[in-house]
């Protein structure tokens, strides 16, 4: 369990009297999560007395609800929620943000006086990762989304937030892409059309599990990719997927899963610990070192 403490903090009286701040990440499996490390790093920097704990909860709603009830009784400020509990979190909440409602899933629960509040910072996280990578460049207006599974919905909502108006989606199982396409006003393309489609968009996003360690690579021909097109991958093991590597070789700006992960953690830390979460190179370097250590 990562310990977050700051014995040198001159302002220790109030936190000691109040007890440490408690938060965590709920999922199963959850031991691979980098969230405890991210929050620990930020807490050390901010001099916060608190703990952010990985919490494995069985994959059923009843177990999830019991676990959340207990965390509230013992004074947890809130939790991040990962697979397979993101829909459970929304169901459990008394209130929900527009993003969580639109996504039909939440990755954040905050335990306030008015009951548990659900939010979806995956959406804001991806939108901020895109905006952060852009620098002086114009925001993307058109996008190609590869995959129509659990992660695709949040990515679509995030792209809309960044100003994307023309969305194309493609998936191996076409019906799933059509369902999502109809829900969000996207054009559905055949999976076999994915390589040709990269030529006409400002950003390409892989939301499939292809390219992840232990999975086959995403087969796509990037020869028609424009050098100003961004390419994003939700995967962070490995950090540089074959897709991102091929995109970088063509001079494209890339966003990896770690960029998204760091940005999605910001709202939780700011809500529960202290308003001082920053995504920067120092944080990235520590996370990359941890991933290398894990192999």
Smallest distance from ligand ATR to CB 185, Å: 19
154 binds ligand ATR (CB under 6 A): no
The verdict on whether 168 is a catalytic residue reads no
**How many residues lie near ligand ATR (CB under 6 A)?**
13
Of the residues 72, 91, 160, 176, which one makes contact with ligand ATR according to CB under 6 A: 176
Tell me which residue has its CB nearest to ligand ATR. Answer: 149
Q: What SS3 string covers the chain?
A: CCCECCCCCCCCHHHHHHCCEEEEEEECCCCCCCHHHHHHHHHHHHCCCEEEEEEECCCCHHHHHHHHHHHHHCCCCEEEECCCCHHHHHHHCCEECHHHHHHCCCCEEEEECCEEEEECHHHHHHHHHHHHHHCCCCCCCEEEEECCCCCHHHHHHHHHHCCCCEEEEECCCHHHHHHHHHHHCCEEECHHHHHHHHHHCCEEEECCCCCCCCCCCCCCCCCCCCCCCEEEECCCCCCCCHHHHHHHHCCCCEECHHHHHHHHHHHHHHHHCCCCCCCCHHHHHHHHHHHHHHC
Angle subtended at Cα 125 by Cα 33 and Cα 32, rounded to the nearest 5 degrees: 5
Q: How far is the CB of 135 from ligand ATR (least distance, A)?
A: 30
Q: Which of 148/258 has CB closer to ligand ATR? A: 148
Toward ligand ATR, which CB reaches closer, 40 or 120?
Answer: 120
The residue (of 22 and 145) whose beta carbon lies closer to ligand ATR is 145
Which of these ranges, 54-62, 158-166, 196-204, 205-213, lies near ligand ATR under the rule CB under 6 A? 205-213
The nearer residue to ligand ATR, 39 or 153, going by C-beta atoms, is 153
**213 binding ligand ATR? (CB under 6 A):** no
Q: Which one of 15, 20, 84, 150 is in contact with ligand ATR (CB under 6 A)?
A: 150
x-or-dash string of contact with ligand ATR, 214-253, rule CB under 6 A: --x-------------------------------------
If one asks whether residue 149 binds ligand ATR (CB under 6 A), the answer comes out as yes
Give catalytic residue positions. Answer: 86
Residues in contact with ligand ATR by CB under 6 A are 147-151, 171-173, 176, 208-210, 216
């Amino acid at each position: 369990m990562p310990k977050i403490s700051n014995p040198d903090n001159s302002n220790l009286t109030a936190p000691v009297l109040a007890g440490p701040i408690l938060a965590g990440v709920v999922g199963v499996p959850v031991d691979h999560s980098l969230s405890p490390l991210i929050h620990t790093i930020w807490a050390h920097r901010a001099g916060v007395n608190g703990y952010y704990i990985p919490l494995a909860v069985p994959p059923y709603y009843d177990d999830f609800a019991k676990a959340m009830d207990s965390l509230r009784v013992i004074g947890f400020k809130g939790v991040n929620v990962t697979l397979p509990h993101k829909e459970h979190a929304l169901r459990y909440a008394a209130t929900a943000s527009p993003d969580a409602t639109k996504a039909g899933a939440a990755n954040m629960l905050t335990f306030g006086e008015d009951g548990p509040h659900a939010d979806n910072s995956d959406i804001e996280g991806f939108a901020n990762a895109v905006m952060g990578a852009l620098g002086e460049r114009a925001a993307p207006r058109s996008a190609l989304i590869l995959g129509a599974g659990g992660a695709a919905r949040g990515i679509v909502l995030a792209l809309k937030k960044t100003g994307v108006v023309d969305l194309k989606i493609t998936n191996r199982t076409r019906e799933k892409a059509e369902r999502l396409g109809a829900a969000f006003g996207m054009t559905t393309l055949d999976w076999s059309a994915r390589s040709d489609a990269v030529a006409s968009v400002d950003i390409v996003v892989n939301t499939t599990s292809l390219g992840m360690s232990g999975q086959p690579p995403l087969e796509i021909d990037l020869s028609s990719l424009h050098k100003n097109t961004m390419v994003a991958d939700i995967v962070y093991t490995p950090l540089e997927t074959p897709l991102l590597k091929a995109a970088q070789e063509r001079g494209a700006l890339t966003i990896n899963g770690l960029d998204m992960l760091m940005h999605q953690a910001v709202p939780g830390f700011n809500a529960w610990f202290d308003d001082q979460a920053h995504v920067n190179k120092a944080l990235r370097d520590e996370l990359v070192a941890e991933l290398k250590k894990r192999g």
